[in-house]
Homo-oligomer: A and B are copies of this chain.
Amino acid sequence: MNQHSRDPVVIVGGGFGGLAAARALHRMKGEVILIDRMNHHLFQPLLYQVATAALSPADIAWPLRTLLRSQGNVRIMLDDVLAIDRAAHRIELRNGEPVSYSSVVLAPGARHSYFGHNNWEEDAPGLKTLPDALEIRERMLMAFEKAERLKGTPEARDELTFVIVGGGPTGVELAGALAEIGRKAMVPDFPVLHQAACRILLIEGGPRILEAFPPTLSSRAQASLESLGVTVLVNCRVQEVTPKGVLAGAEFIRSAHVIWAAGNVASPMLASLGVPLDSSGRVVVGPDLSLNGDPWVFVIGDAAHCLSAEHKPLPGLAAVAMQEGRYVAEIIAGCVPEDHRRPFRYRDRGMLATIGRAKAVAQFGPLSLSGVVAWLAWCFVHIFFLIGFRNRVRVMFEWIWYYVTFKPGARLIYWKERRIKP
């Protein structure tokens, strides 16, 4: 490879892509260093269930060290990557000495993007990490407490109006879950509130929600959301977000709780690579997922702009990231030179989005499913992909419990109550 070939392989990020790469390197001789800011791998597809009090953080997260305990060649570092110094083959860290690499897999993921309006974040938090989810959970639970105290005033109405911006899978799943928990689990516990008091609006800028799915599934998903009491607004662009609500199209919607699920921007650390980024801050990679002119620096997952066989950018899905992680691991483990690499090909296994109890949509190749069948497929796939027996049992138990009782398991407010300053 080069003069750095005795240095370790470094993986930045322990999400779906980074973890898949680390695992696929299990038979490689050299050392692998996995660097992440958090000590855990997060099963992001179920994060909205933590945000809506159905699941606990520990149900969908696993310590990276435990996951990779049996893999002797992996070292874990809990740190924040500041920059990649490609000339020196080094990674700069916030808390420790720089780490040299022979090859590097960058899988730092993305945060939500406010299209240049970063000041909206305070009033419209997004959902990417456990702290995000607990923040939204606490705001949602406090909304009902406040609304009861404000009994029937306009402020009470604003407290119980939830606006979700962005009609992709996250927005749709969040809207459905909020409608269910709000109307069926929370309202019965607040004697002065009634069902209609809880309003949920889903705002989508494009002509339909779930635009990655076929139009028939989009309209079925919209009908399912509406049957749960969600107001779906399409072709509606958010012009402004304030603490009082959102200006959407020409109308100002008063709401104390706006949640942002409209766009992504890749990690700012990628700018240090000095290579072209797309409009979402993603690195434009070659067909082998490496940088142009630097064949041992790979970018995968939500951080990579990679074209499919049809010349469209691959979607930000866990399945894409995992396949990419395994693909680059194979190149690294085999020391495959640049001109011997077959291009990466994403094998599309299908797409799923759930809306609520026994309501979902699914697309497997030419097959479109909706309703109970799609929902069962969704449950099965998510349980299957959860890591480890413990979490499968816990999540399955929580789902059955919630399905039967409508008493969500994690309706706790404690996040704001920090006694000791950091």
Contacts and interface: CB of A to CB of B under 8 A. Distances in A.
A85 interface: no
Interface in A357-412: 390, 393-394, 397, 401, 405, 407, 409-412
Contact of A130 (B37, B40, B188, B414): B414
Contacts of A40: 411-414
A39 B78 contact: no
A338 to B, nearest CB: 33
Interface in A138-181: 141, 145, 149
Contacts of A249: none
Interface in A109-152: 121-122, 125, 129-132, 134-135, 141, 145, 149
A66 B417 contact: no
A215 interface: no
Interface in A291-334: none
Contacts of A397: 390, 393-394, 397
Contacts of A188: 69
Contact of A141 (B39, B95, B413, B417): B39
Given A122-B420, A135-B419, A407-B66, A414 B38 contact: yes
Interface residues of A, number: 56
* This protein's copies in its complex: 2
Contacts of A135: 418-420
B422 A409 contact: no
A121 B56 CA distance: 29
A393 B404 CA distance: 15
A27 interface: no
A130 B78 CA distance: 25
A38 B78 contact: no
Contact of A58 (B39, B63, B410): B410
A78 B145 contact: yes
Contacts of A407: 66, 390
Given A39-B145, A417-B38, A419-B131, A401 B412 contact: no
Contacts of A413: 38-40, 78
A96 B148 CA distance: 11
A190 interface: yes
A58 B412 contact: yes
24 contacts: A37-B417, A38-B413, A39-B145, A39-B412, A40-B412, A56-B58, A57-B412, A61-B412, A63-B189, A65-B190, A66-B407, A66-B411, A69-B189, A76-B189, A77-B149, A121-B420, A129-B419, A130-B412, A130-B414, A130-B417, A135-B420, A393-B397, A394-B394, A415-B418
Given A39-B411, A390-B407, A416-B422, 7 more contacts: A38-B417, A39-B412, A40-B411, A96-B149, A122-B420, A131-B417, A135-B420
Interface of A: 37-40, 56-59, 61, 63, 65-66, 69, 75-78, 95-96, 121-122, 125, 129-132, 134-135, 141, 145, 149, 188-191, 390, 393-394, 397, 401, 405, 407, 409-422
7 closest cross-chain pairs (CB), A and B: A65-B189, A58-B410, A130-B414, A56-B56, A63-B411, A56-B58, A39-B413
